[in-house]
Amino acid sequence: MNGHYTSLMILITCLGAVGDSFLKASASGKGAKIPCFIAACCIYCCTITVWYFIMKKVDLSTLGPLYAVISISVLFVIGTILFKEQISLQKIVGMVFALIAIYIMSAR
């Protein structure tokens, strides 16, 4: 995958995780419910627009797994720091396997 698209995809995936955090805050009552929900919707609209253009240039079989691992990694950190979610051995092992999978898929 082109480095430009990789960087853009990482940025958009992280932005989507921020949208997920706003949605979680809205749903859990932490913060202002309606403003957090609106912020999440606005972020999702922006990310889906950029995803449309990325998907025109990058194979879905490449994009999908990379998106999944980046999302899981960013949401793992956000959940732990902002929402005080517990870190378990099972979650850590899952993260390690996800990163190994991306390494294997990207090896040439």
pLDDT tens sequence across 5-61: 888 999 999 999 999 999 998 998 766 789 999 999 999 999 999 999 999 988 888
Q: What pLDDT is attached to residue 30?
A: 66
According to DSSP, residue 108 is labeled: -
Burial level of 84, CB count in 10 A (0-12/13-18/19+)? exposed
71-77 CB contacts, 8 Å cutoff, 24+ apart: 71/13, 71/16, 71/17, 72/98, 73/98, 73/99, 74/13, 74/14, 74/17, 75/17, 75/20, 75/21
Question: How much is the average pLDDT of 82-108?
Answer: 87
Q: What pLDDT is attached to residue 60?
A: 86
Q: What pLDDT is attached to residue 1?
A: 63
Whether the predicted pLDDT of 78 surpasses 90: yes
Q: What pLDDT is attached to residue 31?
A: 65
Distance of CA 7 to the CA centre of its chain: 13
Q: What pLDDT is attached to residue 53?
A: 92
**Spatial contact of 61 and 3, defined as CB atoms under 8 Å apart:** no
Tally the C-alpha atoms within 13 A of residue 6's C-alpha that lie toward its C-beta: 7
Whether the predicted pLDDT of 106 surpasses 80: no
pTM for this model (two decimals): 0.80
Per-residue pLDDT band for 64 (boundaries 50, 70, 90) equals: confident
